[in-house]
C-alpha cells in the first residue's frame, strides 16, 4: 500500500480515457488551462474510517474535474454534451477497472458526478466533477 502509488495510478488511469482524449492530466487544481478537454484531480478531505489498537484506516476523497471550453457555436455546444457524457462513463470505467489502484488501496468509491460552469481568466468552461474516495486499511501505524 502506498499513497504515492495510489496517486500515480489515478493519474495513469485518467490518462487512458480516450473518448474524449484529454490534452493533459494534472495533479492539483489548475490556475490556467492551455487546452481542452483536460482533467485535473486533487485531494479534498481525509477522515479516519476506523481504529484498532495497532493502526488507523482512512478514507481520502479526491475531486476529479474535467474542463471543456465553452464556444459560441450552438453545434459545438451540442457536441459538448455528448463529450461530457462520454467522459463521465469512461472515467467511471477506467477507475472501476482497477478498484484497488494496483494494490495501493483496499477499494475505491465513485460518487455522484455533477456538471457546472466556471470562469478562468475570462474564459468560460463547462466542468464535470467526479468525487473519488479511496480506502486504505492500516494507513497509520499506532505505536504505544
The residue count for the chain? 144
Q: For residues 64 and 26, what is the distance between their CA atoms, to the nearest angstrom?
A: 10
Asked if the model's pLDDT at residue 55 lies above 80, the reply is no
* 88-120 per-position pLDDT tens digit: 999 999 999 999 999 999 999 999 999 999 999
Is there a contact between 83 and 98 (Cβ–Cβ < 8 Å)? no
Is there a contact between 21 and 109 (Cβ–Cβ < 8 Å)? no
Asked if the model's pLDDT at residue 75 lies above 70, the reply is no
* 59-73 per-position pLDDT tens digit: 899 999 999 998 777
Domain ranges of the chain: 3-141
Q: State the DSSP code for 31.
A: S
Asked if the model's pLDDT at residue 78 lies above 90, the reply is no
- Position 79 scores a pLDDT of 84
Chain centroid to CA 87 = 11
Q: What is the pTM of this model?
A: 0.89
Chain centroid to CA 115 = 14
Looking at domain 3-141, its CATH class is: alpha beta
Amino acid at each position: 500500500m502506498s499513497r504515492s502509488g495510489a496517486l500515480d495510478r489515478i493519474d495513469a488511469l485518467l490518462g487512458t480515457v480516450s473518448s474524449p482524449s484529454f490534452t493533459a492530466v494534472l495533479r492539483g487544481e489548475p490556475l490556467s488551462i492551455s487546452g481542452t478537454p483536460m482533467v485535473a484531480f486533487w485531494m479534498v478531505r481525509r477522515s479516519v474510517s476506523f481504529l484498532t489498537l495497532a493502526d488507523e484506516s482512512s478514507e481520502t476523497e479526491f475531486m476529479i474535474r474535467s474542463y471543456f471550453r465553452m464556444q459560441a457555436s450552438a453545434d459545438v455546444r451540442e457536441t459538448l454534451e455528448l463529450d461530457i457524457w462520454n467522459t463521465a462513463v469512461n472515467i467511471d470505467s477506467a477507475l472501476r477497472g482497477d478498484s484497488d489502484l494496483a494494490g495501493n488501496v483496499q477499494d475505491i468509491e465513485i460518487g455522484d458526478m455533477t456538471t457546472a460552469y466556471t470562469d478562468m481568466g475570462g474564459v468560460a468552461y463547462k466542468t464535470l466533477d467526479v468525487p473519488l474516495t479511496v480506502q486504505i486499511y492500516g494507513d497509520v501505524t499506532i505505536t504505544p
